[in-house]
Structure 1
Amino acid sequence: MDTKISEIADGIYRLSTFVPDIAPPAGFTFNQFLVLGDEPLMFHTGLRKMFPLNRDALSRLIAPERLRWIAFGHYEADECGAMNEWLAIAPDAEVAHGQTGCLVSLNDMANRTPRVLQDGEVIDIGGKRVRYIDTPHTPHGWDAGVMYEESTSTLMCGDLFTQLGNGPALTGNDIVGPAIAAEDLFKYSSLNPEMGTTIRALSKFSPRTLALMHGPSFFGDGAAALHALADDYDRRISGQHVKAA
């Protein structure tokens, strides 16, 4: 395996590792995002076992010890498995996450006390402003959240829009259809009545770039893609209610 680096928006880099053994023959990508600024921020740490790959890739962009902020969507191995490895090599780094994630997991699991972010709170990293947004149970995890970089209108989506394959780093093609297919296969989302509403609320930011954890990043009408994804989840939840009746 190797980790590829691509700039998907001004000063935002995708570090992508393709694993062909997951969901063959299509395979599956694991993506981290480095947001450059005076205080660089990394969204997703990658799996603990992938830490050497990601460390070496990141070192081609900045010295790893310069990392100041470590963030992710929710507490799960591919989102934050290497959290403590990054803390060990970046002495000034802090984990930043929402209140639920810190109370439930990170106050105990992180080797340094995390910074608790309120819903809508902004971290100014110098040259970039990154806003944290709570998305509980969406797509899964009570502690789930996303981050939005304001200057580039980039929404770091976590597991939203998950898809299979090893496509381009950045695409303008449909990402909703492949996400629907991945949901059909993995059934990874915690379907709940608020899911569509939560996803639609993200469209108010009118993101131009959607940074996917699993799949290519998307450049285009992010609000329309979010609405279409929300519509599909509404359909799934409505179907569950019909079956229950």
Structure 2
Amino acid sequence: MSEDKVIPVRVAIRCRPLITKELNEGCQKCVRFIDNEPQLVLGSNRSFTYDYVYSPDHSQLEVYDSAVKHLVKHIFKGYNATVLAYGQTGSGKTYTMGGCYDMVGEIEKGVIPRVMQELFNGMEDRPEYSFTVKVSYLEIYNEDINDLLCPMSKREPLAIREDATGGIRLPGLREKTVTSYEETLTCLSMGGQVRTTGATAMNNTSSRSHAIFTIHVEMKKKDDEYVQFKFKD
């Protein structure tokens, strides 16, 4: 298959290891993985096949390199892309995406920080282009949309509006211009610290909202090109 062939949706499943609470309660693994195949078996005979399958032994880097890295390359070709993490509370969505960046080291760095690093490295490799990068970060909690890059003292719920082309707009959502990987990490960290959290049976500091971190990239050479990258947790 050509690397440039566009596949609209690819699905990956990642199984996290048992946490201490589960081990103490005597929980056991109920999933088996098929060697060299994107397939897992639930129970004794129920098998499921996906585009990518990751066991608890797979690292953050392995997940990124196989399932996400190629999307960054296509960003420079003018494609939009979205990475969506879906699962129940405590399943490891925020960890995989990297929304808890302040709490992990380089090895445990998640998808979003790795994409940002790859993106800025790719920009340095293309001196014939000029780039403008802007980021936004919002959460959806109890049907309210909050701007995570807006100071708490000035924050008000945002309203969804439809534009003339049928697209969705959020008037008032802040887009911060960033010029480096480090600046982007600061925005990710700042927004992550003010996300709505709460204790659950699975996680004492579980993120109780849905969050979307968006990177807008503008490339300029002879003709303007505009692309964007979205992350949803």
Q: Give the TM-score category using the shorter length.
A: under 0.3
Q: Which has the higher contact order (CA 8 A, sep 6+)?
A: 2
Q: Which structure's residues are more often helix, by fraction?
A: 1
TM-score norm. by structure 2 comes to: 0.28
- From the CA coordinates, give the structure whose radius of gyration is larger: 2
